[in-house]
Amino acid sequence: MGVKITGLGMHLPDKMLDNKYFESILDTSDQWITERTGIKIRYFSSKDEAASDLAYPACLEAIEKAKISKDDIELIIVTTVTPDYFFPTTACILQDKLGLKPTAAFDLLAGCTGFIYGAEIARNFIETRRYRTILVVSVEELSKILDINDRNTAVLFGDGAAAAIFQFVEDEKGILSSYISADGSKHQNLIMPAGGSKNPTSVDTVKEKLHYIKMDGKAVFRDAVSLMIKATKEALERADLKKEDIDLFIPHQANIRIIEAIAKYFEIDKEKVYITVDKYANISAATIPIALYDAQKNGKIKKGMKVLLTAFGAGFTFGAMVIEI
């Protein structure tokens, strides 16, 4: 018996931007971006395309693959830092788009660790028998909060959505362990400074570009590596597994150098590390489920395999999860 992902869905916006686009507007090059980040392309949503618009087709695919009715869904959790609005929640808007009956729905903000946080909440609701079927959606439109003239951040992020159906299953294990945590002492290192109650929107905040992502790259790199290592160790210990027991390792796809540093620490074979940063960039909360979907689609995941997910995000939040497919 266990809690398992029974259906996955994914959706990307139509607009694809390669590194040559940034060569034309910034003092950068394809070589510079590729060597330092591993990113080759990313997708940007259109001006009128909201987060819920990206999430909707991903949800439909996940529902179809899980072979369930929409009416089976008892809870919707949307993890995002770029909701349609501050309120109402994107989860409520998505509920309406999907034509679902009234049910519990809320948004969760945990940065790039959002999917693991959402999966952990879903797991606990299901294990306590409160719900049997939960839709977890991770969607981001980071292009809407990017300073396109800032070389340090403009090339790193993209947009996209993924959805997962979590259900209780009788004869399979599913989630073997999980670990989530946060360290708020360094929250200033990755932040959108204005728009909330701390710095309400004003003419000055707009002029000063405080509604865009601001990041201390070196500090984020250092903490991303150390905290994902910590989370991975905790998840392995809780599952009573060794690194050698893991068939596929899917870390947060923020930067190829971060991924390589974690893989090197654990001495994980390159063949076991799944990489999508080159073709999607960093899509914050949607990164992990998109990579999981991509691995499944490309035949890298087979039934019975043990997969380890680990992520790190603004807050700082961090976490890891071991699942048996």
Residues labelled catalytic: 112, 252, 282
Instruction: Using DSSP bridges, classify how beta strands 306-313 and 214-215 pair: parallel, antiparallel or unpaired.
Output: unpaired
Closest to 5 measured CA to CA, from 126, 107, 139, 92: 126
Q: Which amino acid appears at position 212 of this protein?
A: Y
Answer yes or no: are the C-beta atoms of 131 and 150 closer than 8 Å. no
**What's the rounded Cα separation, in Å, for the pair 51 and 83?**
6
Closest to 187 measured CA to CA, from 219, 222, 142, 146: 219
Residue ranges of alpha helices (H) inside the chain are 19-23, 30-37, 51-66, 90-98, 114-127, 151-154, 203-207, 217-238, 256-266, 277-280, 287-297
Up-side HSE of residue 275: CA atoms within 13 Å toward CB?
A: 19
Answer yes or no: are the C-beta atoms of 1 and 170 closer than 8 Å. yes
**What's the rounded Cα separation, in Å, for the pair 297 and 291?**
10
Q: Which amino acid appears at position 196 of this protein?
A: G
What is the Rg, in whole angstroms, of the alpha carbon atoms belonging to the chain?
Answer: 19
Q: Give residue 199's region: left, alpha or beta (phi > 0; psi -120 to 50).
A: beta
3-state secondary structure of 22: helix
Name the residue with tokens 């995002």.
Answer: 80
**DSSP string over 141-157:** EGGGG--TT-HHHHTTB
**What's the rounded Cα separation, in Å, for the pair 135 and 71?**
11
